[in-house]
Amino acid sequence: MIAAILAWPVPIVLAGAAWPPRSPGLALALWQSIALAGGVSMIGSLLVFGLIPFGSSPIRALTALAGHVTAGTLPTGATLAGVMALCLALILASHLLLNLGATFLRAERQRRRHHTLIALLSDPLPFDSTGTRVIDHAAPIAYCLPGGARSATVLSRGLLRLLDADQLRGVVAHERAHLRQQHHVVLLAFKSWHSALRWFPIANRAENAVALLVEMMADDQARLEVDDRTLATAIALVGTAHLVEVDGTQSSLAAGGVDDASSADLVGPRVSRLLGDQSGLGPAARALVVTATVLLLVVPLVLLVTT
pLDDT at position 222 is 96
Tell me the pLDDT band of 126, cut-offs 50, 70 and 90.
confident
Q: If we measure between CA atoms, which residue out of 264, 183, 247 comes closest to residue 217?
A: 183
Q: What is the pTM of this model?
A: 0.88
d(CA 221, CA 237): 19
Give percent of the chain above pLDDT 90. 65
Count the Cβ atoms, other than its own, within 10 Å of residue 138: 13
Strand partners, 145: 152
pLDDT at 247 over 70: no
Of residues 252 and 112, the one with the higher pLDDT is 112
Please state which of the ranges 225-229, 248-252, 261-265 shows the lowest mean pLDDT: 248-252
Count the Cβ atoms, other than its own, within 10 Å of residue 150: 13
Cβ atoms 255, 261 nearer than 8 A: yes
Of residues 148 and 119, the one with the higher pLDDT is 119
CA angle, 112 then 260 then 233, to 5°: 110
The full DSSP string for the chain is -HHHHHHTHHHHHHHH-SSGGG-HHHHHHHHHHHHHHHHHHHHHHHHHHHTGGG-SSHHHHHHHHHHHHHHT---TT--HHHHHHHHHHHHHHHHHHHHHHHHHHHHHHHHHHHHHHHHHHEEEPTT--S-EEEE--SS--EEEE--GGG-EEEEEHHHHHHS-HHHHHHHHHHHHHHHHTTHHHHHHHHHHHHHHTTT-HHHHHHHHHHHHHHHHHHHHHHTTTS-HHHHHHHHHHHHHH--S-BTTB--HHHH-SSS---HHHHHHHHHHHHHS-PPPPPHHHHHHHHHHHHHHHHHHHHHHHH-
pLDDT at position 133 is 93
Each residue of 253-299: pLDDT tens digit? 433 344 333 355 789 999 999 999 888 899 999 999 999 999 999 99
pLDDT at position 256 is 36
Mean pLDDT to the nearest integer, 119-135: 85
Tell me the pLDDT band of 186, cut-offs 50, 70 and 90.
very high
pLDDT at position 243 is 52
pLDDT at 240 over 90: no
Mean pLDDT to the nearest integer, 38-65: 90
Of residues 290 and 245, the one with the higher pLDDT is 290
pLDDT at position 260 is 33
Please state which of the ranges 3-17, 114-128, 252-266 shows the lowest mean pLDDT: 252-266
Tell me the pLDDT band of 21, cut-offs 50, 70 and 90.
very high
pLDDT at 110 over 80: yes
Of residues 133 and 147, the one with the higher pLDDT is 133
Alpha-carbon distances of 122 from 36, 126, 137, rounded to whole Å: 40, 12, 10
Strand partners, 123: 134
pLDDT at position 232 is 96
Alpha-carbon distances of 238 from 155, 168, 252, 286, rounded to whole Å: 12, 11, 9, 33
d(CA 143, CA 132): 10
pLDDT at position 98 is 97
pLDDT at 111 over 60: yes
CA dihedral 39, 42, 46, 48 (to 10 degrees): 80
